């Protein structure tokens, strides 16, 4: 039994190493398929903030009440960079760790109130640090209803939605890759929490929603796993 477990562990390490040595996931992504939509270039993210990592960890809370005020596009840019932004231009590594650099997530933003940005559903392109407009219109209430009428979803300025493509990771790690995808959702989510905290914003992780309805709102064939409403507090 021990020998079998040891060989299995070695195989996983080898597969992961091969994936990293080849390249991170650069196959067909949703932003490639939707590249014909209107593109909004985001401001460059800041690499130095006004709050330390330690203070952000200490202050981090799940916040469900937000002011009826818009976010700035700079704040949106920073949140998306923290979620999936490119942090290594040569190797195209991202802000959150990913098993074998397979990057199974696409990041959508349902915008209600952002200065200089019309309401709608947007898809984040991490390689260009830009947004692609998928659907124009205010879908905040639709998303609230899909999320079992959790009012903080509808009252937020934006909702960041993490959409998973399991096959990107399971193609390397088999069924165990499902576990790795779920782990990665947690990595990304914590980045969003800490970045929001450092910006003086509030967010909460929402996992209760009708998956198929959320997917329809976004216009995706992936698997929505997490919704993060964000607003000013």
Using CB atoms within 10 Å of the CB of residue 230, give its burial: 0 to 12 exposed, 13 to 18 middle, 19+ buried: buried
Is beta strand 93-94 parallel, antiparallel or unpaired with respect to 86-88?
A: antiparallel
When mean pLDDT is compared across 11-20, 42-51, 160-169, 171-180, the lowest value belongs to 11-20
Question: Which among 122, 98, 102, 97 is positioned nearest to 112, based on CA atoms?
Answer: 122
pLDDT for residue 75 is more than 60: yes
pLDDT for residue 17 is more than 70: no
pLDDT for residue 53 is more than 70: yes
Write down the pLDDT at residue 20: 43
Express as a percent the part of the chain with pLDDT over 90: 84
Write down the pLDDT at residue 26: 44
- Outline where 121-175 has alpha helix (H): 140-146, 151-155, 167-173
Q: What is the DSSP letter of 129?
A: T
Residue 231: C-alpha distances to residues 115, 139, 199 (Å): 13, 16, 11
Give me the mean pLDDT over the 121-145 stretch.
Answer: 97
Write down the pLDDT at residue 151: 98
Tokens standing for 197? 């905290």
Give me the mean pLDDT over the 75-80 stretch.
Answer: 98
Write down the pLDDT at residue 22: 39
Query: How much is the pTM?
Result: 0.88
Q: Which residues contact 79 (CB under 8 A, 6 or more apart)?
A: 160, 192, 195, 196, 199, 201, 230
> How confident is the model over 154-209, as pLDDT tens digits?
999 999 999 999 999 999 999 999 999 999 999 999 999 999 999 999 999 999 99
In whole angstroms, what is the distance from residue 185 CA to residue 103 CA?
Answer: 10
Question: Which among 226, 93, 99, 84 is positioned nearest to 170, based on CA atoms?
Answer: 99
Write down the pLDDT at residue 4: 54
Q: Which domains, from first to last, does the chain contain?
A: 2-232 (3.40.109.10)
> How confident is the model over 211-225, as pLDDT tens digits?
999 999 999 999 999
Confidence band (pLDDT; 50, 70, 90) for 33? low
Confidence band (pLDDT; 50, 70, 90) for 19? very low
Give me the mean pLDDT over the 74-100 stretch.
Answer: 97
Write down the pLDDT at residue 14: 47
When mean pLDDT is compared across 8-17, 35-44, 84-93, 156-165, the lowest value belongs to 8-17
Question: Which among 200, 231, 205 is positioned nearest to 62, based on CA atoms?
Answer: 205
Q: Find out whether 178 and 225 touch, Cβ atoms under 8 Å.
A: no
Between 11 and 135, whose confidence is greater? Answer: 135
Q: Which residues contact 89 (CB under 8 A, 6 or more apart)?
A: none
């Amino acid at each position: 039994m021990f020998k079998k477990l040891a060989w299995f562990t070695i195989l996983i390490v080898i597969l992961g190493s091969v994936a990293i040595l080849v390249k991170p996931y650069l196959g067909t992504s949703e932003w490639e398929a939707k590249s014909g939509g209107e593109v909004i270039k985001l401001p460059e993210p800041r690499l130095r903030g006004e709050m330390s990592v330690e203070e952000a960890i200490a202050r981090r809370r799940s916040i469900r009440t937000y002011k009826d005020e818009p976010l700035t596009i700079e704040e949106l840019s920073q949140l998306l960079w923290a979620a999936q932004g490119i942090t290594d231009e040569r190797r195209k590594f991202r802000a959150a760790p990913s098993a074998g650099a397979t990057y199974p997530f696409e990041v959508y933003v349902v915008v209600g109130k952002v200065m200089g940005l019309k309401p709608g559903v947007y898809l984040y392109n991490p390689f260009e640090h830009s947004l692609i407009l998928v659907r124009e219109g205010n879908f905040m209430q639709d998303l609230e209803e899909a999320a079992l009428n959790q009012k903080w979803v509808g009252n937020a300025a934006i909702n960041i939605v993490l959409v998973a493509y399991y096959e990107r990771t399971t193609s390397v790690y088999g069924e165990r890759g499902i576990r790795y995808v779920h782990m990665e959702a947690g990595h990304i989510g914590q980045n969003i929490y800490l970045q929001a905290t450092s910006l003086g914003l509030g967010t909460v992780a929402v996992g209760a929603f009708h998956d198929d309805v959320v997917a329809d709102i976004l216009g995706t064939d992936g698997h929505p796993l997490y919704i993060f409403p964000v607003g000013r507090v």
